[in-house]
Amino acid sequence: MIKRVVFNQKGGVGKSSIAVNLAAISAARGKRTLVVDLDPQCNSSHYLLGEGYQDIAPDIRDFFEQTLTFQLNPQGPEYFVHQTEYENLYLMPANSALGDLQSKLESKHKIYKLRDALDKLADQYDVVYIDTPPAFNFFTLSALVAAERCLIPFDCDEFARQALYSLLANVHETREDHNEALDVEGIVVNQYQPRASLPKRIVQELLDDDLPVLKTQLSASVKMKESHDHTCPLIYLAPKHKLTQQFEALFEELPH
């Protein structure tokens, strides 16, 4: 099973959009694909489940809560996974109250629980995509501990470029301390506007610094917002659209 986390501490750079759309392509190509939503904003869960997303239980909060109390017969991780309406696409949904558990989970050192759960699911899924909140907290750390590959969406902003170095330092520290299997597989340039000079210069600076910028760049397009509004991944909403084709090219660029 390929275990991929989509991570950037900066908000609104495209983590959920990228996690869900790559997962949807993967599933459409016949891979059993699991999305784990660790963000209390629940954007990926909403995107994949539609309007009723808050009524789906059990969710990732129930999973973590279970780790806090001893149980003779705990539920296996598959108990918290739900099938979506898309073939081969499964979801462990988030919960807006996830943050309530954070300090307890931290003080009880539950940082390896997600990794253990994914290990148990390894022969049931070909790939897992973990969507993370815009923070470096217990949940993102759990994801970085559980994953082997890390995708970093980047929105071509100068502040984002500066923040990238501390982000990469956090990933490398996690690798040293908890998970030597973790690799940054690439920076995904998102919302790229090829005609503007600033994004071009910023991307060139990343390349000059030898950062692993992926070849495929994702354009800024209103289709993305439409896709969220319709709670329908791009490959189903607009299979021929340029942005969809870019997502497919990005998918091909990565191991799958």
Ligand X SMILES: Nc1ncnc2c1ncn2[C@@H]1O[C@H](COP(=O)(O)OP(=O)(O)OP(=O)(O)O)[C@@H](O)[C@H]1O
The listed partner (Mg ion, ligand X, none) that binds 191, CB under 5 to 8 Å by sort, is ligand X
Picking from 188, 195, 199, the residue whose alpha carbon sits closest to that of residue 247 is 188
Q: Does 224 engage in binding with ligand X (CB under 6 A)?
A: yes
Q: Which of 43, 84, 174, 217 is in the footprint of ligand X by CB under 6 A? A: 43
Q: Which of 9, 16, 244, 246 is in the footprint of Mg ion by CB under 5 A? A: 16
Supply the angle between the helices 242-253 and 222-229 in degrees, to the nearest 10.
Answer: 90
Stretch that binds ligand X, among 24-32, 35-43, 87-95, 165-173 (CB under 6 A): 35-43
Stretch that binds ligand X, among 9-17, 59-67, 120-128, 178-186 (CB under 6 A): 9-17
Q: Does 41 engage in binding with ligand X (CB under 6 A)?
A: yes
**Residue list 148-187, contact with Mg ion (CB under 5 A):** none
**Residue list 191-220, contact with ligand X (CB under 6 A):** 191, 218, 220
Picking from 142, 99, 101, 111, the residue whose alpha carbon sits closest to that of residue 3 is 142
Nearest distance from C-beta of residue 99 to ligand X, angstroms: 14
Nearest distance from C-beta of residue 156 to ligand X, angstroms: 11
Give CA–CA dist 120/75, Å, rounded: 12
Q: For residues 13 and 182, which CB has a smaller minimum distance to ligand X in the complex?
A: 13
Residue nearest to Mg ion (CB): 16
The separation between CA 159 and the C-alpha centre of its own chain, rounded to angstroms, equals 22
Q: Does 228 engage in binding with ligand X (CB under 6 A)?
A: yes
Give CA–CA dist 155/147, Å, rounded: 23
Q: Which of 8, 33, 43, 45 is in the footprint of Mg ion by CB under 5 A? A: 43
Supply the angle between the helices 158-177 and 138-146 in degrees, to the nearest 10.
Answer: 60
Q: Does 186 engage in binding with ligand X (CB under 6 A)?
A: no
Q: For residues 105 and 250, which CB has a smaller minimum distance to ligand X in the complex?
A: 250
Give CA–CA dist 67/116, Å, rounded: 11
Q: Does 24 engage in binding with ligand X (CB under 6 A)?
A: no
What is the CA angle 125-128-134, rounded to 5? 160
Picking from 84, 42, 21, 6, the residue whose alpha carbon sits closest to that of residue 236 is 21
Residues 22 and 129 sit within 8 Å (Cβ to Cβ): yes
Give CA–CA dist 31/158, Å, rounded: 37
The listed partner (ligand X, Mg ion, none) that binds 12, CB under 5 to 8 Å by sort, is ligand X
Nearest distance from C-beta of residue 201 to ligand X, angstroms: 19
Residues near Mg ion (CB under 5 A):
15-16, 43
